[in-house]
Structure 1
């Protein structure tokens, strides 16, 4: 979503530059602005790989500490004091699955919100996990074919890594036009688990 906004900002900048005379167009400034946007986008990606303080206290660790891992970040829509992480990972042949509900930094020290914090072991069978966690999540058809969908709902970010290959993608549960069966199965799984 932020990438779309950055691209829109870049287009607006280019259009406004086009309206100025060529002598006023400062290519150096435009290059600096593009470099700044790219730097901010890189910070956003690195932020996602950083574990929030409260989540670290609940026991979540590094994204690179297992052979295969799927992290699904849930960002509730509109003023929530918490976020969620569902982490399913494999070390060797052993799978583990945990659902974390953690407080945003500004609410960590507020006693009235501590009841929302939790760490729940999900009792998923290997067969269930393999329906949505597999190499198909590394394919290019992970994005929906139906463009420009708008949803005032929870946003999800999936991070999937298998050995040295990885993929990151945003989605929401009611998006349409998905051709990747693993992603469709992932969305079905999340619909079931989030409603619990």
Structure 2
């Protein structure tokens, strides 16, 4: 498992635990769409399904990418901004590979948005900075370690294929998902790439 990736099996019943933890976290803001090519940061959300970009606020400001090249800083993320250089995936803002304070959260639960109801898909938390730089902000590195520890306290590592438990365990199963998998529910081997 890559250092900047935290894969999870989750069911709908598991979402409130993450929802409560992230909404109560004074270091995390959520980046939400605020109109066409517009985004804004908020401290709390009502829904955690699908893709959402998280911002580790103490880690530093967010960059605004420009078509002419180069970045400037977003002056007031909570007031909102217009994205000048959207990425290929317009469901989340494009901060570029060099941004060290953003974490991409993908929450896929069975039955949500057309997903199969009889398959536990793979949700993920991805921190791209760990893949492209060796020196992300220390405060963000500490937050990431705390988040991984939080997941470790509430979930159990399982395998993606073969017997559920074994030496190749590489993905975390949250409590309801673990019970469903132990009862024979099918599990995805690879996450949906939407």
Which TM-score bucket, shorter chain as reference? under 0.3
Determine which structure has the larger helix proportion and give its number.
1
TM-score, normalised to structure 2's length? 0.25
Question: Larger RCO: Structure 1 or Structure 2 (Cα < 8 Å, ≥ 6 residues apart)?
Answer: 2
TM-score (ref. length: structure 1): 0.25
